Amino acid sequence: MTDIPVKKIALTYYCPNIFFIYDIPIEPTRAMLKGAELHEKLNFNNQVKYTYTFKYYRKIITLVGIPDKVGEKYVFELKTGNKYMLKLYRKAWLLQLKLYILMTGKPGILLEYDTEANKFIKATRIKKLTKKETRQIHRHIYHMMRLKEKVKVPRNRCRYCIYKKICGNRQLTYYLNPLTP
């Protein structure tokens, strides 16, 4: 049984290939540095590690993660970037928040901060997860763990990916035909 970082699983929602390269160190981007600065300024610097263990098809899986902030009533996740990046990664970040909700047992709030406009642009609140949502999350994690090699993904995903320099997906030829239904 191995512990899997929550952030690693969340990013696979954007691109499954990140599962293979997440542990490789990368240079922080401007947005990452500005995000770290904002986390510090707003006191979103929780250091308590949470775990969540579940069983799926006779496999015991343990997730570990550190939410940005855990209050009395809510768990908070703060994300920064330009308006386009926030929209692009929103589903991955919502998955990350849902995993923190499972870990803490508290409702969650995802805060999105536009670094170009220097303002908060969206707050998404999730009260609790249904059994169906929890099963879908378990299934996604299980399938990510079963991947043996990189998969083909739309190349437009690579354009804004922070891992594009080390991934090698640019060599894969997978094109989306806008004319197909």
pLDDT at 169: 63
pLDDT at 75: 96
- Model pLDDT for residues 7-25, shown as the tens digit of each residue: 888 888 778 888 888 888 8
Is 169 within 8 Å of 158 (Cβ atoms)? yes
Q: Kindly state whether residue 100 falls inside one of the protein's structural domains.
A: yes
The domain in which residue 146 lies consists of 3-171
Q: Kindly state whether residue 35 falls inside one of the protein's structural domains.
A: yes
Q: Kindly state whether residue 176 falls inside one of the protein's structural domains.
A: no
pLDDT at 15: 82
pLDDT at 177: 32
For residue 129, pLDDT beyond 90: yes
* Mean pLDDT score, 74-95: 90
pLDDT at 79: 92
Q: Kindly state whether residue 90 falls inside one of the protein's structural domains.
A: yes
Total number of domains constituting the chain? 1
For residue 128, pLDDT beyond 80: yes
% of the chain residues with pLDDT over 70 = 90
Residues 6+ apart with CB under 8 A from 130: none
* Mean pLDDT score, 96-107: 95
* Mean pLDDT score, 57-67: 91
Q: Measured between alpha carbons, how far is 112 from 121 in angstroms, rounded to an integer? A: 6
Q: What is the CATH number of the domain that holds 140?
A: 3.90.320.10
pLDDT at 176: 32
How would residue 178 be classed by pLDDT, with cut points 50, 70 and 90? Answer: very low
Q: Kindly state whether residue 177 falls inside one of the protein's structural domains.
A: no
Q: Kindly state whether residue 157 falls inside one of the protein's structural domains.
A: yes
How would residue 179 be classed by pLDDT, with cut points 50, 70 and 90? Answer: very low
